[in-house]
Amino acid sequence: MDAFKLLTRSTKFKTGSSLSSTLPSKGKAENPQLFRDSQTELLEASTLGKKRKRIPAAGDSDSEDGDAAELDFFGSGKKSTTAGASSKKEQEGPVDAKDGSDSEDDESMDEVQRRTILNSHKIKVTDMRDFEEVQPAQPQAQNEESTKKKKKRKQQKEEPVQALTKKEQKKARRLFPQPLVSFKELRSKYKISRRLAENIAEQGFTVPTEVQLGSLPLLLGDRSLSQKSGTEESIEPDLLTVAPTGSGKTLSFMIPVINKIVRHHHAQSEERGIFAVVVAPTKELASQIVNEGRKLAVGTGVKITLMKKGMRVVDRHDDDEKDVLDEDDSGSSESEDDEKTAETTSKAQAPVTKSDIIVTTPLLLVNSLSANKTKPMGTMPLVRNLVLDEADVLLDPLFREQTLDIWRACTHPELRASLWSATMGSSVEDFAKSTIKERKEASSQTKSYPLLRLVVGLKDSAIPNIKHKLIYAATEQGKLLGLRQLLHPAAASATDVRLRPPFLIFTQTIPRAVALHSELRYDIPPEAGGSSRIAVLHSDLSDGQRSDIMKQFRKGEIWILVTTDLLARGVDFRGINGVVNYDIPNSAAVYVHRVGRTGRAGREGGIAVTYYTKEDIPYVKSIANVIDVSEKLRGTSEEKSVQKWLLDALPDLTKKNKQELKRHGVKARQTPKGDKDDNKDKKSRISTKSGYERRMENKKRDLIAASRNRKSQPQPGADADSDDGWAGLQD
């Protein structure tokens, strides 16, 4: 009888079922969108089809308006039909201003269409400002009748107006901006750089994901937002974005930033410097953002640089080093002076980075701005865009002060901040609002912009296109046995879990990741590559080792990667077939990010396996709730992995225990410090050896150590005999 079958309580196993043919490693998804329906697809197709139908219509007076949308934006010029339509336009005569305004309105959707598309894609845009600020500004020229009516109403109503309820305020804050149906609209409607549009097309991006559908029009200046605020100019807001993992957030914030810098270069070619800063919590994520950004910036003249140690980003005008040099000149020879000046100038006057966009981790940039905390923080006066990727981590207590220092160092009055993550609590929103308010109070020149929040799907939920498996393994030995069954497909007949490499294994601590790697490194047979197919990645490794492992994993040379939460956020592995949570995550947000390494960009077939033991039972409910919500969004008729009786039986966790779990993880698996007693460490040990074998090994080890100690310490009786004998020989 299979012991793992008893531990997992598996039932209704279907024999003879082959491995799933839909694997994330098979290639691109047909449609990267997570939420869509047939009605919305028809509506989106009709909005594009209307413009195409107007082109061949000879008698249509609005045909020239349709031709404007059929420009060959990714080629050399206009199509032949466009030239014909322009000649007819000249023959017919000039178009009235009223007709021209109608043609512009035809190109954009009305509010009902916008509402339908955004709701079907589960996109919710909310104005985060106070309710008084949300009210649209009235135009300066008002009708006399409307002003008289308002005065009469004020005179008649002596009592104050009753405040709106919370539900009414939420409704008033809702916005329905213009959605981006196709990437071709970036050029036709929003006039982005031609070279940037060509780079987007060359990478094969045609259908935007939900976060791109909602955020790109906002960041490129949506006119519907400017009309609601009472201005004619397009407005780029400060933006908080909560979107599922793998939904294309990097593309969403890099396209507007690159396009803005290209426009600035054309307008003011002489002013050069750092115009945008992108902050990420890990080096792996920062390197990935740089690689994706450089693909978009090819041929645009925009330079993107990855921040490294010792790099200078600001030009300081400090006279401290000059004073030191003057004091040294008074008491030293000319040759010594030349050597000292060369050394100090090489250190102090290292060239400032000539880049348009800097991608960095918080500590590297703070150390560069403050000269390793030896001088006051420098400022970056040219920065117009600050992007915080994985903002909930960057504003966590671990990185909060560093991130806020970077935010305050960006002193340009037209600075826009955008925060991006798959999980974002209310504390992050409060920090963003308070920081923006501080900037306005600190300087009267700071301009005010709308603060919007864009949420895709359900907030803080896992993506619905992956399968979740929550497996009870009872003990550490049970988890290791279950993991070995995933490595050997023939032994996996006890469960319905089908997981094929490549996949990630997450552990709670670095020592546990190293121990698990050493335990599994010989499980892959030599004919399949042996120990070279499995590796471990954690923050104690050097930068070179980490980058080499990442390259080998992306190339397919490494099949299984054991890691910590270092790779839980932002890193994009497009061919990952699954994720194994060997140790239960510290929070529901960590679970969302861990399992988000698979099933990215709408790919089906990803599997997330989570093992839990007896010690983990108090901490499982938050993860079980996330899985339950994800399965409801998926809407399949398959048997749920988390039953209702299990959700009711699992205990609730107090707020204090949640904070303790988030900081330190499960106590049973914390790295022991000081006293390394075998009994205290046995619960967190990763090994298949029995207690008897381990006791015999420890006993043998102790005997060997005692024997060595006896040999190293001379016996007192033997020393006395040897002294007497030696003395006798001398006599």
CA atoms within 13 A on the CB side of 192: 28
673 occurs within a structural domain? yes
The helix-helix angle for 283-296 and 249-267 (nearest 10°) equals 50
Q: What is the pTM of this model?
A: 0.77
Q: Is the pLDDT of residue 656 over 70?
A: yes
Element counts in the chain: helices (H) and strands (E): 31, 15
569 occurs within a structural domain? yes
314 occurs within a structural domain? no
Quick one: pLDDT at residue 48? 67
Quick one: pLDDT at residue 86? 42
Average of pLDDT values for 469-476?
A: 91
Quick one: pLDDT at residue 362? 95
Average of pLDDT values for 63-77?
A: 37
pLDDT single digits (tens) 223-275: 666 555 555 567 899 999 999 998 999 999 999 999 999 999 988 766 778 99
252-273 exposure pattern, b = at least 16 Cβ within 10 A, e = fewer: bbbbbbbbbbbebbeeeeeeeb
How many CB atoms lie under 10 A from the CB of residue 588?
20
Strands (E) located in 558-601: 560-563, 578-581
Q: Is the pLDDT of residue 342 over 60?
A: no
Radius of gyration from C-alpha coordinates of the chain: 32
pLDDT single digits (tens) 480-495: 989 988 887 654 444 5
Q: DSSP state, 562? A: E
Residue 548's domain comprises 463-678
Quick one: pLDDT at residue 684? 61
Considering 78, 107, 136, which residue would you say is the last residue of a domain?
A: 107
Residues 6+ apart with CB under 8 A from 564: 506, 507, 508, 509, 510, 513, 538, 539
Q: Is the pLDDT of residue 140 over 70?
A: no
Q: Is the pLDDT of residue 427 over 50?
A: yes
Q: Is the pLDDT of residue 164 over 80?
A: no
Question: Confidence band (pLDDT; 50, 70, 90) for 32?
Answer: confident
The answer to whether the CB of 65 falls within 8 A of the CB of 54 is yes
717 occurs within a structural domain? no
Considering 50, 84, 107, which residue would you say is the last residue of a domain?
A: 107
Number of structural domains found in the chain? 2
Residues 6+ apart with CB under 8 A from 178: 108, 109, 114, 189, 217, 222, 223, 224
- Whether the bond into 502 is cis, omega within 30 of 0: yes
Q: Is the pLDDT of residue 517 over 90?
A: yes
Average of pLDDT values for 529-554?
A: 92
**CA gap 706, 699 in Å, rounded:** 11
**CA gap 346, 626 in Å, rounded:** 54
Tell the residue number behind the tokens 């985060």, with chain if given. 128
Question: Confidence band (pLDDT; 50, 70, 90) for 278?
Answer: very high
Question: Confidence band (pLDDT; 50, 70, 90) for 135?
Answer: low
43 occurs within a structural domain? yes
Beta pairing, strands 238-242 & 174-175: unpaired
Q: Is the pLDDT of residue 167 over 60?
A: yes
Quick one: pLDDT at residue 187? 92
**CA gap 129, 602 in Å, rounded:** 33
Quick one: pLDDT at residue 199? 95
Quick one: pLDDT at residue 329? 45
CATH of the domain at 629: 3.40.50.300
The answer to whether the CB of 256 falls within 8 A of the CB of 222 is no
134 occurs within a structural domain? no
Residues 6+ apart with CB under 8 A from 182: 48, 206, 207, 208
326 occurs within a structural domain? no
Element (H, E) at 473: strand 466-474
pLDDT single digits (tens) 618-655: 999 999 999 999 888 877 667 777 888 888 889 888 88
Burial class (CB in 10 A: 0-12, 13-18, 19+), 377: middle
Q: Measure the CA angle with vertex 562, ends 556 and 565; round to 5°.
A: 115
The answer to whether the CB of 593 falls within 8 A of the CB of 568 is yes
**CA gap 545, 549 in Å, rounded:** 6
Quick one: pLDDT at residue 599? 87
Residues 6+ apart with CB under 8 A from 638: none
Average of pLDDT values for 78-85?
A: 41
Cα-based distances in Å from 183 to 242, 245, 367: 21, 21, 39
Specify the range with the lowest mean pLDDT, choosing from 162-166, 407-411, 661-665. 162-166
Considering 63, 89, 107, which residue would you say is the last residue of a domain?
A: 107
338 occurs within a structural domain? no
Residues 6+ apart with CB under 8 A from 163: none
Mean of per-residue pLDDT scores for the chain: 77
